[in-house]
Copies of this chain bind each other. A is one copy, B any other.
Amino acid sequence: MTIRYPNGKVYRQPSHSKATTSKFANVNFGDRGMSLEQEINDSNTYYLENDIAVIHKKPTPIQIVKVDYPRRSAAVIREAYFKQASTTDYNGVYRGKYLDFEAKETKSKTAFPLKNFHAHQIQHMRQCLHQGGICFVVIRFATLGRLFLLTATDLFGYWDQQAAGGRKSIPLTVIERLATELHYHINPRIPYLSAVDNLIDESSSNHKGEHYGRK
């Protein structure tokens, strides 16, 4: 049975399947109809099982209204609604750093529409960045089969321009210039932590000697 989110997107169970042997080395895994979310989840499972990073997708927030307690069986939620998340979908720890990110895809071939992000997600990333977190978005041009990691700071620039009446998307040409292109791999499927390594190294040199606010 197909279950859908309010936005019509198909709900998928988190999978923990192990991927593939090396005979698939030349297959483009981005074309197998797997959602970006699923690909990131699989990559996170790989990173976790190999002691590289601990990154989880947050559960979808649900507003529970009614729960039944049938005898001798588990509680059943009988009425609940999807709530808007107040944070991004992914966070965790890698090389002693707090990572926080969102993964989004578009069918456009020329630009990434900013409507894919919500104001509260941008706000959350600003807050995390202020605390010294590493914040970014993984974006996929589904039709082109291209993937990029764009820093939150670069995203904010375009977000703020839009809020001031500017264009409602980031051109692919700009993304090619600002972001790090990611290439599909076997394990992990999306090796986004390689790009994060560069962000951490830059962040370490920028923040050297800087003091975070204390309570």
- Give me the interface of A with B, judged by CB distance under 8 Å: 1, 3-6, 11, 47-48, 51-54, 56, 58-62, 64-67, 69, 74-82, 85-87, 91-98, 100, 124, 127-128, 130-133, 191, 193-194, 197, 207, 212-215
Contact = CB atoms under 8 A, between A and B. Distances in A.
A205 B53 CA distance: 22
B214 A74 contact: no
24 contacts: A3-B65, A5-B75, A11-B67, A54-B127, A54-B133, A56-B87, A59-B59, A59-B60, A60-B62, A62-B77, A76-B80, A77-B77, A77-B79, A77-B80, A77-B81, A78-B78, A78-B79, A93-B98, A93-B128, A95-B131, A95-B212, A95-B214, A96-B98, A97-B98
A52 B130 CA distance: 9
Contact of A82 (B3, B60, B75): B75
A195 B78 CA distance: 41
A94 B67 CA distance: 36
Contacts of A47: 215
